[in-house]
Amino acid sequence: MVESATGCATRDDPLMKYFALKMLFGDVAKFYGILLGLTFASLLISQQSAIFVGLMSRTVGFIRDTGQADLWIIDPDKLYVDDQKPLRDTEVDRVRSVTGVAWAVPLFKGLLSAKLPSGERETCDVIGIDDATLIGGPPKVLEGSVADLRNPDAIMIDNASRGRKLALPAGLAPGDVMLDFDPNDPAAKRRPMGLGDVLELNERRAVVVGIVETTPTFQSQPVIYTTYARAKQYAPANRRTASLVLVKALSGVEPKELAKRIEAETGLLAFTPDDFSWRTISYWVSQTGIPINFGIAIGLGFLVGVAIAGQMFYNFTLDNLKYFGAMKAMGASTRRLLVMVALQAFVAAVLGLGIGLGITCMFGLSVPGNRLAFRMLWHIPVMTAGAVTIICVGSALLSMIRVVRLDPAEVFKT
Amino acid sequence: MSPAAGTRDDDVAIRLTDVTKTFGKGDSAVPALRGATLEARYGESTFLVGPSGCGKTTLISIVAGLLHRDGGAMSVLGTDLGSLSRGQLTRWRSENVGFIFQAFNLIPQLTVAENVSVPLVIRGVRRREALRKAAAILDAVGLGGRERSRPNKLSGGQQQRVAIARSLVHDPRILVCDEPTSALDASVGWKVMQQIAAVSQHPDRAVLVVTHDERIFPFAHRIAHMDDGRIKRVDQQSHQPLHAGAGAPEDPFR
């Protein structure tokens, strides 16, 4: 608190800041334009990023779902989890013989065509787990039990697909088939596939004994769990059938050390779940156009922010330059005017970012279940905030340059 | 010495002697003032008149501390503004100069009272005190009750009266008016000048008015005629200048 020359009690600048905010909020058209630009940029950047992360997460959903193993052993040419580069069954024994291995079990994972009782065909992601131990089973069983897979022809299907891709005609009783069902009839009613329903995999009978919940796959195929031996029967004959080998390290053995040992002794590749996830994600990032397409959308969001919000904020400052000039003439220092501009940019950034992220989160929460590939990591708000900061700081700096260069004598020329 | 503490050793508030100012350098140099000499006294209104480009705006900018002179001598309120640092000059302006602009320059997003309070806010006066003073001076210029209005809800004459209130709210010792009536029609301009004359009458204040409008010359104590960057002559009015007090003549434009 200081005493001014007029004898009035004075303090630092809250009123100048208040005026700055009134100037911002009071210019309704420009304020909402700036807000709209920043909101749209935040929304596009964060929403597209969250969907990209969601999609990438789905590519490794199976690795996350299969939590019992310390190591994933694969053919050296296998680039990602769904890559069809199978191993010989004898490789399982070679892995088991490596010192430090507690157990090693084969796992089948492949796309097979299923024929439904309605006569429709659907490509399914069939997972065959170890017959003896049932290791590699689903993360969550909703109906039935994993042990039921030991029943003849038993399979378990995923909950998300039973009412969609695996849905059956409404009147079809479990075990029956319908020869005259027209799947293209829009009036045809359907019911979810359930326990006791029978379908064909490679012309072999498969009976639903359980409903499980899994992370959706990247291509959203139905997921079918069965035993390894039965999966080999369903799959076309091949000398190499094991998609990979799951390994548990002995207590006290470091998985990464064990991985090196397995690689050295078998010539296969061994990864921890995290490393295998990154190998899979790296494949999708480097070998597909997905990142580029999402990158373009995110880049467009940034450009929209620059083009609309950045330019509009700059124009907002230009419109107010004569008032800043008048205030400068009346004795306001350049620093105080810069604080006003910075505050305006900061408030616009915070509001635009908050609304944009809020809409993104509402978008993610509004779609029930896991139908939407949407995953909000903490990195996404940080990255979005960084982009909005760049937009606002850039436009604010340009505006500030105009304010710094503003000659107060200019006020007499308007 | 504090920049606000110029001593008053005579009746002259502003004294310029052979002041020069040139914009640009080399071949593109444009001399705006070629040796302007002028005195403006406390309690008087000095009008600067002359053709466009003769240096009027440059001269009031130098007097108001917005520009530095290149040469000559100058004392404003007893202070040589050329000796002040940029920060001192900024503070000196905030304490000693009131401005009335041709285009009013009222901030449209602020209320009338907030606009008037800007010079006080710049000086760091508290909100309540600043708005109280603003309301008081708005009342003095006949705009009592319009404190919460937005400038764009007022007529041109009313906006200029708000600008007058803003220029005087911090009780400046110099009032600089740049074409205060050029954006107004004749009748409104006359009333605005009455207002300026009424509220600016102060024995410790000098008023400097730049104008092309000969119809408001009766409000001047002295009229300095400028041409080509120099003061050619200064006419002292033979009559008592007009103001809005008792006995003020009728508005000739009514």
Residue count of chain B: 254
Cα nearest neighbour of B127 on chain A: A15
Say if residue A162's pLDDT is above 60.
yes
**Looking at the domain assignment, is residue B5 inside a domain?**
no
CB contact under 8 A, B103 and A4: no
**Looking at the domain assignment, is residue B125 inside a domain?**
yes
CB contact under 8 A, A26 and B97: no
| CB B79 within 8 Å of CB B106 | no
Given CB atoms, is A407 within the 8 Å cutoff of chain B?
A: yes
For residue range A382-404, what is the model confidence (pLDDT) as tens digits? 999 999 999 999 999 999 999 89
Residue of A372, A92, A30, A411 whose CA lies nearest to B104 = A411
CB contact under 8 A, B121 and A331: no
Between A218 and A121, the higher pLDDT residue: A121
Lowest mean pLDDT among A181-185, A191-195, A273-277, B185-189: A181-185
Q: Using CA atoms, how far apart are residues B104 and B166, in angstroms rounded to an integer? A: 10
Q: How many Å from the N-terminal Cα to the C-terminal Cα in chain A?
A: 37
Assigned token pair, B146: 């319009």
Range of the structural domain that residue B56 is part of: 12-236
Say if residue A40's pLDDT is above 60.
yes
In this structure, are strands B45-49 and B222-227 parallel, antiparallel, or unpaired? parallel
Chain A hits for B127, CB-CB cut-off 8 Å, are 14-15, 18
Q: What is the predicted pLDDT for the residue at B202?
A: 82
Say if residue A174's pLDDT is above 80.
yes
Say if residue A56's pLDDT is above 60.
yes
DSSP 8-state secondary structure symbol assigned to residue A82: T
Given CB atoms, is B140 within the 8 Å cutoff of chain A?
A: no
**Looking at the domain assignment, is residue B250 inside a domain?**
no
**Looking at the domain assignment, is residue B3 inside a domain?**
no
Min Cα–Cα distance to chain A from B235, Å: 25
Q: How far is CA A72 from the centre of its chain?
A: 23
CB contact under 8 A, A412 and B118: no
**Looking at the domain assignment, is residue B247 inside a domain?**
no
Q: What is the predicted pLDDT for the residue at A213?
A: 93
Say if residue A170's pLDDT is above 90.
no
- pLDDT band at residue A232 under the 50/70/90 scheme: very high
Assigned token pair, A319: 């419109």
Percent of chain A predicted with pLDDT > 90: 72
A·B CB contacts under 8 A: 116
Q: Tens-digit pLDDT profile for chain B (254 aa)? A: 444 445 555 789 999 999 999 999 888 899 999 999 999 999 899 999 999 889 999 999 999 999 999 999 999 999 999 999 989 999 999 999 999 988 889 999 999 999 999 999 999 898 899 999 999 999 988 898 999 999 999 998 899 889 999 999 999 999 999 988 887 888 888 888 887 887 667 888 999 999 988 888 989 999 999 999 999 999 987 666 665 454 444 544 44
CB contact under 8 A, B4 and A9: no
Cα nearest neighbour of B93 on chain A: A331
Q: What is the predicted pLDDT for the residue at B6?
A: 52
Tell me the average pLDDT across A176-205.
Answer: 85
- Location of structure tokens 């002292």: B236
**Looking at the domain assignment, is residue B88 inside a domain?**
yes
φ, ψ dihedrals at A190, nearest 5°: -130, 160
Given CB atoms, is A319 within the 8 Å cutoff of chain B?
A: no
Between A23 and A414, the higher pLDDT residue: A23
Q: What is the predicted pLDDT for the residue at B189?
A: 83
CB contact under 8 A, A19 and B114: yes
**Domain ranges within chain A, ordered by starting residue:** 2-58+290-413, 71-271
For residue range A275-293, what is the model confidence (pLDDT) as tens digits? 999 999 999 999 888 999 9
Chain B hits for A321, CB-CB cut-off 8 Å, are none
| CB A143 within 8 Å of CB A197 | no
Q: Nearest 5°: CA angle at B160, between B155 and B164?
A: 145
Say if residue A9's pLDDT is above 60.
no
Identify the three-state secondary structure at position A323.
helix
Tell me the average pLDDT across A66-79.
Answer: 93
Chain A hits for B90, CB-CB cut-off 8 Å, are 328, 331-333
Given CB atoms, is B57 within the 8 Å cutoff of chain A?
A: yes
For chain B, how many structural domains are there in total?
A: 1
Count, in order, helices (H) and strands (E) of chain A. 12, 14
Task: Indicate which CATH number applies to the domain containing B140.
Answer: 3.40.50.300
Min Cα–Cα distance to chain B from A392, Å: 22
**Looking at the domain assignment, is residue B24 inside a domain?**
yes
- Location of structure tokens 């004795």: A331
Tell me the average pLDDT across A311-334.
Answer: 93
CB contact under 8 A, A25 and B109: yes
**Looking at the domain assignment, is residue B155 inside a domain?**
yes
Q: What is the predicted pLDDT for the residue at A8?
A: 38
